[in-house]
Structure 1
Amino acid sequence: MFNYTMRRLLLAIPTLLFIALVIFLLLELSPGDPMADMPLTIPPEIREQMRLALGLGEPWYTRFFKWLYLFSVVEPSHVLASITGLENLAIDGQRIISFQTRSPVGDIIAQRLPQTLWVVGLSYLFGILVSLPIGIYSAYRQYSWFDQAGTFVSMVGFSLPTFFTGPLLILIFSIWLGWFPIIYDTTLVVDSWYDFALQMRQMAMPVFVLTLYNAAQITRFMRASMLDNLTQDCVRTARAKGLTERVVVLVHVLRNSMIPVITVIALGIPQIFTGAIITEQIFRVNGLGQLLITAIYATDIPMVLTLSVVFAILIVVFNLIADLLYAVFDPRIRYD
């Protein structure tokens, strides 16, 4: 498995380089000017100097390779220095600067990441914890009232988009009932139980919206995979050998059923870091999803490029993790 993992990681390097180049070229060809938000009273010569200060006067390939060096060498050193507390690990010099805020992109992402992890991360965790037992029991008790109710709720959660359920919850629980705040307060500092209660109140609606959507998707996959494996010959053989129903379901059926579900869960984990763009916009959560949208509107090429490549890296990494987990759940799979 070690050799397989190393081969996949080595193959991921040219793949990610190609993805970064394609994204950079698309941003270069897209309409928009980073200087468009500047006041019109700025003289043309000053505007041109500002463009040169942002590096926009250099050829595209020069800017791409500069960004690639900063992204792969300089920014990781600052991340490592902030994690370990050893400031001497950070490489001095130029960093990836956002056109919009004139601040390092890595620092902005680090500021926004906790908000995204709190809201999107908790909703994904709750979605997994809710969907797996519902999908397992619904398949085992097929066509029962529990299965019918679970199928109905999952269909509703999967069919209704978050831009509908979000405003609906705001209308009911914020405007009509007044239970939860409409706007997510990202400046809230949790240093007491009262502030913790306020944080839970403002997280309740966005977390519920995303949990409903994630749980509905995973429940459908879990139920379908369980139904497919419940009719296998190995299951009938296990029952004929006198194994208890608990062992048959939780060992023989569940272990094989988790293989396709692992793919769905693993490939959904990068969405935790990318942020829920629509939900964050609705509830004004100052996370990475909203950061990406504002960067696109402002033609902030360094921010959009960095976030997009980070998302691509996460997808490649968790895709590899899903492949490695196959061997854990299915002993027939061997990579070496």
Structure 2
Amino acid sequence: MLTFTLRRLLLAIPTLLVISLVIFLLVDLAPGSPMSEIPLTVPPDVRQRMIEALGADQPVFFRYLLWLRQFFWVEPMTLFDGWFGTTWVEGEQRILSWQSRSPVFTIIGQRIPQTLTVIGTAYLVGILIALPIGIYSAYRQYSWFDQAGTMFAMIGFSVPTFFSGTLFIIIFAVWLGWFPTKYDTNLSVTDWASFKKQLSQMAMPVMVLGLANAAAISRYMRSSMLENMGQDYVRTARAKGMTERTVILKHVLRNSLIPVVTVIALGLPTIFGGAIITEQVFKVNGIGAALIGAIHANDLPMVQTVTFITAVLIVLFNLIADILYGILDPRIRYD
């Protein structure tokens, strides 16, 4: 296992380099530039210093190398910060002053706690809901519970989050008045009252995303359980006199989790990347909202950073999923 892990980590290096090059070229060569947003009232010497500070006057390959240095090697800001090292957008206000630019990771560091709190909780809730539903639906195939679970999954698949989020706001915030309509990103949890307020404002975005995630994962869990329940080793375990609980939870469930682990692991990077639509609906000031704001403001450094971080997380969690395969199924050997 250790040899396999090291080999995959070494393979990830050229993979990420190729991905980074593709991301950089797609964003850098796209129409538009932060330089096009500079007002004509800016003096020519200041404009030139801004261009030099971003490295926009350098060749593409040189800017790409500078981007890699800025991404993997954190150092104090200097005059030549590079195209990818700093952002022109902070919050919702465009920063036009060359001296007031902020490092991209500073902005991401400010947004990531909100994203992890809301999106991470929603993903965990979705998993906790989906696994029991998928397991029991497969065990009681074609029962009323299975039919209800199928209907729940179809609704979760069919209804987009921007519609369900708006519907939740109308019902639970406007009509019933149970939850606030907007997420207060400035709220700090210091006592029991603020903690309850935090839970209250998290309820609707967590429910929307949790139900959407649960719909997909529960179907994978049910399908995998049904496939394994018809295998010979299940009939053998029952013939040996094992209890139904032991057969299902110890034998069938362990093998059924192998494909589900892939779905869960590949979905984890979305926690860090944010839920773009849901964060916009509930005004959660997270990574997804930052990405949308960066796209609207033509903020190339922020777009490149968030995209590449997502790619890194996908490669990492693919490796984690492969390692979990070996833990769940002893027959899998990587060395």
Report TM bin, short chain.
Answer: over 0.9
Instruction: Indicate if the aligned counterparts of 2:33 and 2:300 stay in contact, CA closer than 8 A.
Output: no
Q: Which residue does the alignment assign to 1:32?
A: 32
Q: Distance in 2 between matches of 1:333 and 1:136?
A: 23
Q: Does 1:312 align with 2:301?
A: no
Matches within 5 A, 1:56-135: 56-74=56-74, 91-94=75-78, 96-101=85-90, 102-135=101-134
CA deviations 1:277-309 (Å, max 9, x no partner) are 000011110000111111122222221112111
Q: C-alpha root-mean-square deviation of aligned residues, in Å?
A: 1.4
Q: Distance in 1 between matches of 2:294 and 2:141?
A: 48
User: Which amino acid is the alignment partner of residue 30 of structure 2?
Assistant: S
CA deviations 1:35-63 (Å, max 9, x no partner) are 34333433445433322232211111111
Instruction: Indicate if the aligned counterparts of 1:54 and 1:99 stay in contact, CA closer than 8 A.
Output: no
Q: Which residue does the alignment assign to 1:274?
A: 273
CA deviations 1:3-27 (Å, max 9, x no partner) are 1111111011001001111111111
Identity of aligned residues (%): 63
Q: Distance in 2 between matches of 1:296 and 1:150?
A: 38
Deviation at 1:162, TM superposition (A): 0.2
Q: Which residue does the alignment assign to 1:334?
A: 333
> What SS is found at the alignment partner of 1:115?
helix
> What SS is found at the alignment partner of 2:211?
helix
Q: Which residue does the alignment assign to 1:208?
A: 207
C-alpha spacing 1:46/1:282, structure 2 compared with 1 (3 Å): same
Q: Distance in 1 between matches of 2:112 and 2:279?
A: 13
User: Which amino acid is the alignment partner of residue 251 of structure 1?
Assistant: K
Q: Distance in 1 between matches of 2:58 and 2:237?
A: 68
Instruction: Indicate if the aligned counterparts of 1:132 and 1:222 stay in contact, CA closer than 8 A.
Output: yes
CA deviations 1:235-277 (Å, max 9, x no partner) are 1111111111111101111111000000000111111000000
C-alpha spacing 1:228/1:295, structure 2 compared with 1 (3 Å): same
Q: Distance in 2 between matches of 1:44 and 1:283?
A: 42
User: Which amino acid is the alignment partner of residue 129 of structure 1?
Assistant: L
CA deviations 1:81-100 (Å, max 9, x no partner) are xxxxxxxxxx4454621132
Q: Distance in 2 between matches of 1:226 and 1:232?
A: 10
Q: Distance in 2 between matches of 1:35 and 1:280?
A: 28
> What SS is found at the alignment partner of 1:243?
coil
User: Which amino acid is the alignment partner of residue 298 of structure 1?
Assistant: A
Give the structure-2-normalised TM-score: 0.92
Q: Which residue does the alignment assign to 2:20?
A: 20
Q: Which residue does the alignment assign to 1:83?
A: none
> What SS is found at the alignment partner of 1:64?
helix
5+ unaligned residues in a row in structure 2: which ranges?
91-100
> What SS is found at the alignment partner of 1:35?
helix
CA deviations 1:62-107 (Å, max 9, x no partner) are 1111110121122xxxxxxxxxxxxxxxx44546211324101111
Q: Distance in 2 between matches of 1:32 and 1:45?
A: 21
Q: Does 1:157 align with 2:180?
A: no
